[in-house]
Amino acid sequence: MTEGAQTPFPTQLLTWAGNRSGGVRRLFDESSGRPAGQNPFRTQLLVKLQQWCDEIGAGVQTAPRVILLVGGPGNGKTEAIEATMGWLDDALECDGALVAELAHAFHPTVGKVARRVSVEVSRPAPSRHQGLGLSIVQDASVVAGSNGRSAAELLLDELDDACSTGAGLYLCCVNRGVLDDALITATEAGRSSSRLLLEKITSAISLSPNAPSCWPLGDYPEVAVWPMDMESLLVATADQTVPLAGQVLRYAVDASQWPAADKCEAGERCPFCTSREQLSHPREEQSLLSMLRWYELGSGKRWSFRDIFSLFSYLLAGYRHEIHSTDLLPCAWAAKKVTADAQAVANAKPSSETSQAIFELVAAQYHHALFHSWDREAGPSLLKDIKDLGLQDNNIAMGLQWFLSSRRSTYLPAMIGGVLESFASLLDPALAHPDTVVEVSKNTSYRLRDIDTRFSRSVAEGLQYVRKTRILTKLEVELLRRLSELDTHLSRQDVRRKRPATATRMQRLVRDFSCRLVRRSIGVRTMAVLDAALLREFQTIVENPDGDEMFEVAREIELLLNKNQEFEVSLTTTFGQPVPPSNIQALLVVPRRHVHPAYASVEGRPDAPLQFLEVGEGASIQNVALTYDLFKALKDVKRGMSNASLPRSILALLDTTSARLAGPIVRDDVVLRRAEIRLGNGVTIEKRRSGFGVIGGGNRR
313 occurs within a structural domain: no
Over 109-135, what HEC string results? CCCCCCCEEEEECCCCCCCCCCCCEEE
Question: Does residue 130 lie in a domain region?
Answer: yes
For residues 592 and 453, membership in a common domain is answered with no
- What is the pTM assigned to this prediction? 0.89
pLDDT score at 692: 65
671 within domain boundaries: yes
Q: Which helix (H) or strand (E) holds 509?
A: helix 500-526
pLDDT at 697: 57
- Can you tell me the distance from the alpha carbon of 363 to that of 373, in angstroms, rounded to the nearest whole number? 10
CATH code at 101? 3.40.50
Low-confidence stretches of the chain (pLDDT < 50) are: 1-5, 323, 325, 699-701
Whether residues 116 and 171 share a domain: the answer is yes
Are 523 and 551 part of one and the same domain?
A: no
Q: What integer pLDDT is reported at residue 517 of this predicted model?
A: 96
CA angle 149, 151, 152 (to 5 degrees): 100
Q: Does 402 share its domain with 440?
A: no
Q: Are residues 515 and 549 in the same domain?
A: no
The answer to the question of residue 292 being in a domain is no
* For helices 282-299 and 271-279, angle between their N-to-C axes, nearest 10 degrees: 90
Are both 401 and 438 inside the same structural domain? no
From residue 42, alpha-carbon distances to 210, 238, 313, 606 in Å are: 27, 12, 22, 14
How many domains is the chain built from? 4
| Predicted local confidence at residue 146, as pLDDT | 72
Query: What's the pLDDT tens digit per position in 291-331?
Result: 999 999 999 999 988 899 999 999 999 887 654 545 678 99
Query: How many residues appear in the chain?
Result: 701
Please check whether residues 342 and 474 belong to one and the same domain: no
**Do 391 and 469 reside in the same domain of the chain?**
no
Q: Which pLDDT value is given to residue 575?
A: 65
**pLDDT tens digits for 600-626?**
777 888 888 888 888 888 777 888 888
Domain boundary residue, one of 182, 199, 230:
230
Same-domain check for residues 472 and 346: no
141 lies in some domain = yes
Looking at the structure, tell me whether residues 481 and 556 fall in a common domain.
no
* Contact (Cβ atoms closer than 8 angstroms) between residue 288 and residue 279: yes
For residues 27 and 245, give the distance between their C-alpha atoms in angstroms, rounded to a whole number.
22
Looking at the domain assignment, is residue 312 inside a domain? no
Domain span holding position 333? 324-363+373-408
Whether 657 is in a domain gets the answer: yes
Q: Which residue among 169, 202, 230 closes a domain?
A: 230
3-state secondary structure 154-192: HHHHHHHHHHHHCCCEEEEEECHHHHHHHHHHHHHHCCH
- 380 and 348 share one domain: yes
Q: Which of 204, 230, 256 is the last residue of a domain?
A: 230
Residue 247 lies in a domain: no
Check residue 300 and report its DSSP letter.
-
Co-location of 104 and 188 in the same domain: yes
Q: Which residues contact 21 (CB under 8 A, 6 or more apart)?
A: 15, 31, 32, 33
